[in-house]
Structure 1
Amino acid sequence: MTDNFTLFNYSPYNRRPQIRWPDDARIALVVVPNIEYYEYNPPGNSRYQGWERPAPDILYLSHRDYGNRVGLHRMMSVMERYDVRGTVSLNVALCDHMPEIIEDCCNQGWELFSHGIYNTRYMYGLTEDQEREVIRDSIASIKKHSGQDMAGWLSPSITPTIHTTRYLAEAGVKYTCDFSHDDRPIGIEFSGSRIISMPYSYEINDYFALNSYHYTPEEYLDVIKRQFDQLYKEGEESGTVLSLPLHPYIIGQPHRINILDQALDYITGHSAVWRATGREVADHCLAHFDEYYGGNNGR
């Protein structure tokens, strides 16, 4: 039995052209702070219910607000110490609701990309025009409030449709984090429009590691180190990406921030580590698209 829809071709890990990062780096480190905005009473979505408890859920909302008020600034202090810039997965409603955060991110030289408008409004069930409008709104809002051209995308609450990637590529977005299917960037092509599928790890995402897998802080730090060690080893043959998705309301807690500190100390203590942003990785891959992907890895 075959599927009648193929977003990208199968690409075995051991049968690809070699990826070479700048300055002969083995691995690109991309730290992804998810800076999110939740509504008190979000519109309903018959396809996906994100909240476990009835809305308005003041407890969950205030817990997440902790990240924007406190946790994010702890993260910034740690990351600045190791000269690591953030690649921000941003609910772009923050541009209007919390402009101070946008200013602080820009002052740190962080990249902003779209995590949808609100994290409580999903892509599931949207019409083509509605999906395209969310993308257009994201591009315009990030440009207006930061001056940056939006390069990347992660669907709100990771709810892409089968068409989202094509709409992104056609809008000129350079990469998407909607897939968790590889440790190297994958090139996707739609009738001449090209986009990079950027590694985005659920396995070392602090939300899953600490809330779902219930790792202790010590176990989580060890997992990050072991993820790095293996990808660093493989990067000797062909460049890899260590994607580290984080949430300020989780990793930014006083009893957890040392995990990030120790992890970055360990990673940046190695040579041949490219402290990159998602945009920089995507630009490199797009510049070498035919070499890396043969122009034939899309639909």
Structure 2
Amino acid sequence: MSDGTGRQHGRYAYSPLPRRPAYDWPGGKRLAVYVALNVECFDFGTGLGAELAPGGPQPDVLNYAWRDWGNRVGVFRLADLFDALALPASVLVNSRIYAACPGLMDVFRARGDEVVGHGRTNAERQGTLPEEEERALIAEATAVLTRHAGQPPAGWLGPWISQSRATPDLLAEAGYRYLLDWCHDDQPTWFSTRGGGRILSVPYPQELNDIPSIVGRKDSGSQFAEMIVDTFDEMREAAASAPLVMGIALHPYLVGQPHRLRPLRQALRHIAQHRDAVWITRAGDIADHAIGLPEGMVPG
């Protein structure tokens, strides 16, 4: 018989935020803030990719070159911005970046930033693959990132936030501790996986994400920056009653552009000026803290 809820995913139970136990982030803080920098590569003449404008038949030079500018110029401007404001970053990396853009990741390794798995390339989706092919994709990307970063990544975001019904299971079986694809909550959440396992979901932003904002809704750089400031100020107040996570998702070919970089700098400076009151950190550190909490503190 149906329980009246319709088809469900079975990964986590409903848990209203006001009824959950409260806990603190390190230092007694209640708002955790992290920057997710997506460092991605694309195929020339085929495959998926965000569009600045309709590019016409392949090879789509207009949009390919626009995205490639992000890996040649924009990404380094963002690294300089993070340095200037002393901001850590979680770098979501397509594994083929290491071959396509030799040396690009050196700047983030020198900064001590976290490397998060982000598939092989953003020219493809993993969620459309048969399970064994998806397993192979995860294994291939993980091996490359481990070899270059010196340790396996703890977290994963699928290219295009693409998941199959088995993705959380495959990630847990591959040794991942957390995933970022779901934006269903403002706190970390435990996901059940097959065989009695589990994997943590760390909130990843869809609203404070420059692709839905700038590419999807056609927001300006100033509008996107204003969204960041308003979200931060609102969540800083709301966090008085519950610990919250605020992520900011950035792509170099978008916010690395000078006219968007300037308002972004002002927004991130606003956050940095409140570093004594909030925990400015990395997604992996948020996951580690949540995983270490007493059982029952994190919903699932």
Q: Which residue of 2 aligns with 1:218?
A: 222
Encode CA deviations 1:144-166: one digit per residue, 9 max, x unaligned: 01113211111111211111011
Q: Which residue of 1 aligns with 2:100?
A: 97
Does residue 1:139 correspond to 2:142, yes or no? Answer: yes
1:104–1:11 Cα change, 3 Å: same
Q: Which residue of 2 aligns with 1:187?
A: 190
Q: Percent identity over the alignment?
A: 32
Encode CA deviations 1:41-98: one digit per residue, 9 max, x unaligned: 446xxxx997775432121111001111111111011111111111011111112221
Does residue 1:173 correspond to 2:162, yes or no? Answer: no
Conserved 8 A contact 2:221-2:255: no
**Which residue of 70, 78, 88 maps to 2:73?**
70
1:211–1:186 Cα change, 3 Å: same
**One-letter amino acid of the counterpart of residue 136, structure 1:** A
Structure 1: gaps (5+ residues): none
Conserved 8 A contact 1:116-1:138: yes
Q: Which residue of 2 aligns with 1:245?
A: 249
2-side partners of 1:288 and 1:103: how far apart?
33
Encode CA deviations 1:78-127: one digit per residue, 9 max, x unaligned: 11111111101111111222131121110111111111101012113312
1-side partners of 2:49 and 2:232: how far apart?
34
**One-letter amino acid of the counterpart of residue 102, structure 2:** P
Q: Which residue of 1 aligns with 2:35?
A: 31
1:144–1:151 Cα change, 3 Å: same
Conserved 8 A contact 1:120-1:157: no
2-side partners of 1:65 and 1:87: how far apart?
21
1:168–1:78 Cα change, 3 Å: same
**Which residue of 278, 282, 285 maps to 1:280?**
285
1-side partners of 2:16 and 2:229: how far apart?
25
Question: Per-residue deviation at 1:4?
Answer: 5.4
SS at the partner of 1:285?
A: helix
Conserved 8 A contact 1:251-1:259: no
Q: TM-score, normalised by structure 1?
A: 0.91
Conserved 8 A contact 2:188-2:298: no
**One-letter amino acid of the counterpart of residue 185, structure 1:** P
SS at the partner of 1:100?
A: coil
Q: Which residue of 2 aligns with 1:290?
A: 295
1-side partners of 2:97 and 2:66: how far apart?
17
Q: Which residue of 1 aligns with 2:154?
A: 151
1:15–1:117 Cα change, 3 Å: same
SS at the partner of 2:135?
A: helix
**One-letter amino acid of the counterpart of residue 11, structure 1:** S
2-side partners of 1:272 and 1:15: how far apart?
24
**Which residue of 164, 167, 170 maps to 2:167?**
164
**Which residue of 188, 201, 206 maps to 2:205?**
201
Structure 2: gaps (5+ residues): none
**One-letter amino acid of the counterpart of residue 171, structure 1:** A
How do 1:220-235 and structure 2 match up within 5 A? 220-235=224-239
For this pair of structures, how many residues does the alignment match? 291
2-side partners of 1:32 and 1:5: how far apart?
26
Encode CA deviations 1:130-151: one digit per residue, 9 max, x unaligned: 1111111122111101113211
Does residue 1:60 correspond to 2:63, yes or no? Answer: yes
1:212–1:289 Cα change, 3 Å: farther
1:4–1:77 Cα change, 3 Å: closer
Conserved 8 A contact 2:221-2:264: no
Conserved 8 A contact 2:222-2:264: no
Q: Which residue of 1 aligns with 2:272?
A: 268
**One-letter amino acid of the counterpart of residue 87, structure 1:** S
2-side partners of 1:198 and 1:241: how far apart?
8
1:30–1:155 Cα change, 3 Å: same
2-side partners of 1:58 and 1:289: how far apart?
52
1-side partners of 2:92 and 2:290: how far apart?
20
Conserved 8 A contact 2:35-2:249: yes
Conserved 8 A contact 1:102-1:145: no
Tell me whether 249-258 or 9-18 shows the greater mean CA deviation.
9-18
**One-letter amino acid of the counterpart of residue 157, structure 2:** L
